[in-house]
Structure 1
């Protein structure tokens, strides 16, 4: 199959690798130094758990012409970058688009894409369950078995046959979710708390692991986030996580303590700007919920203060 991976960061690079290994004709859209790096050295990935390095040759483009056609386009980027690519995708004649990444406003993304596109354009949303970091021109990849949660906002998945074909020969699991919007919304609750604390603490993960008060505050903040979602009628999925954060807090506490001591904690790919915009989206829900969120608010305020301090340092 002819597939475009739009975005060559950590997650886009790993997805491109999987699709190449699955026998697909893969093109990667990258820009600047990353495009030069891929053209010169290929797609280099160091697989952290497997302790091996792979190099894949992929086609590189730096722009998407309107008349280029692909069976599938995977848009793999941070939440703050989605709006800038929607007009480009709308003009392109490819019909099947999958947005991969954090997205608490998936319905808005889909609406803005479709209202400016040809009638046969179809969109889906997913989240790749892996992480990593860039290091000296290569991708250091951490993967949880190679998996993507994938779904449609409106009824049955519209191009499941194409997805199944693309991954048929790949060592990668596709988990179709019947309510991907709820899954994405639920996911950002934990991501916001985890990422906010990491940034405020300058990624000193071992120090976070030792701070019992902070870990308990993180658990309380996640619970408050779930209460916000419940108050405005959003479904939390998987539902089991609510039980853990409310009734099995000691177990969650030990999980967070261990997690922050492991190297994997360093491989969550996010940015100040993305987390700030996710907070902004969540603030809308908080205003609608009208419930107290003291722990959440304290962590958010600390994150925003840290972000402002970093911005001032760069001036």
Structure 2
């Protein structure tokens, strides 16, 4: 398949690598220094836990023109950056788009693309589990033995799922489909905001944080308050087991948090290698809007997420 990866950061580079190795013709859209690196050296990817480096030769472009038609476009970037690329995506004549990443406004994005496109667009939303960082000339990617992508529509089954499945037919990625990705995405950023605020409490010393029983209990209470906001607004916490963590499986969750804070993979997933500060700020503002609509107090949430904003 002819696929465009719009965004050449950590997750976009990992996705491009797997799609290339799966037999697809992959183009990456990049700008600035990253564009020069890709054109000069290809996509150099250091697989952190696999102790190996790969190099993939991909076609590289710096802009998406209306007439550049792809079978499938994956837009992979941080939530605050999506808005700037919507006009180019809308003007383009490709019909199948997957928007990948944390997202607090999927309905607005879908509606904009469909209302401003010259062709009928099919749009899905997705999230890739992973983290990493850019180094000079390469990307370091933190991922498991197989990639994991959660993907779906907004309250409906994807009638074009076969297009996505074809792209991943020979790819080392596990796809988990959900019919309502808005609920999944909202549940996800409500999970990560309290967790990713922990780093600021002890200036990045996760081992000290792991010993702070009061802090970890406050994080769990904050998460439960976030779930209550969603439920008050009529959303279903997705996946369902997530709401049980701070309510019915509190001891297990507590031990899991302590373990996460003392392992390298946990620290990477709770640092700006997974969620940048500007993305956290944007998601925090999105939650505040939800909280105002719900009209319920969230004292633990307010306290916990304030740690990262104070540190910033």
Instruction: Please tell me the TM-score bracket, short chain as reference.
Output: over 0.9
Distance 1:234 1:110 in 2: 19
Give the deviation of 1:154 after TM superposition: 4.5
Deviates more, 1:207-216 or 1:33-42: 207-216
Aligned to 1:301: 306
Indicate the SS of the match to 1:233: coil
SS of residue paired to 1:246 = coil
**Counterpart for residue 271 of structure 1:** 276
With 80-89 and 266-275 compared, the bigger mean Cα shift is at: 266-275
- Structure 1 segment 166-181 matched on structure 2, within 5 A: 166-181=167-182
TM-score, scaled to structure 1: 0.93
Q: 1:249 maps to what in 2?
A: 250
Could you tell me which runs of 5 or more consecutive residues in structure 1 were left unpaired when the two chains were aligned: 308-315
Q: After the TM superposition, which parts of structure 1 deviate over 6 Å for at least 4 consecutive aligned residues?
A: none
User: CA separation of 1:138/1:239 partners in 2, compared to 1, >3 Å: closer, same or farther?
Assistant: same
Q: Secondary structure at the match of 1:15?
A: helix
How many corresponding residue pairs?
Answer: 307
When the two chains are superposed, the root-mean-square deviation of aligned CA atoms in Å is 1.4
Contact 1:244 1:252 in 2 (8 A): yes
Indicate the SS of the match to 1:64. Answer: coil
What's the counterpart of residue 79 of structure 2? Answer: 79
State the partner residue of 2:53. Answer: 53
Q: CA deviation at 1:50?
A: 1.8
Question: Structure 2 vs 1, CA of residues 202 and 61 (structure 1 numbering), >3 Å: closer, same or farther?
Answer: farther
TM-score by length of structure 2 reads: 0.94
Give the superposition deviation at 1:122.
1.4
Deviation string 1:147-206 (CA, Å, 9 cap, x unpaired) is: 101101152213211111111011111111122111111001111112222245443222
Q: Secondary structure at the match of 1:207?
A: helix
Equivalent pair of 1:10/1:269 in contact (CA under 8 Å):
no
Q: In the alignment, what sits opposite 1:222?
A: 223
Tell me the distance in 2 between the aligned counterparts of 1:119 and 1:251.
Answer: 50
- In structure 2, stretches of 5+ residues that fail to align are none
- How far apart are residue 80 of structure 1 and its match? 0.4
State the 1:138 CA deviation. 2.0
The 8 Å contact of residues 29 and 63 in structure 1, kept in 2 or not, is answered as yes
> Aligned equivalents of 2:215 and 2:137: distance in 1?
35
Supply the distance in 2 between the matched residues of 1:10 and 1:63 (Cα, whole angstroms).
19
Which residue does the alignment assign to 1:65?
65
Paired residues for 1:5-44 under 5 Å = 5-44=5-44
1:119 is displaced (CA, Å) by: 4.0
Instruction: Give the 3-state SS of the residue equivalent to 1:28 in structure 2.
Output: strand
1:110 matched residue in structure 2? 110
> C-alpha distance in 1, partners of 2:176/2:152?
8
Contact 1:16 1:28 in 2 (8 A): yes
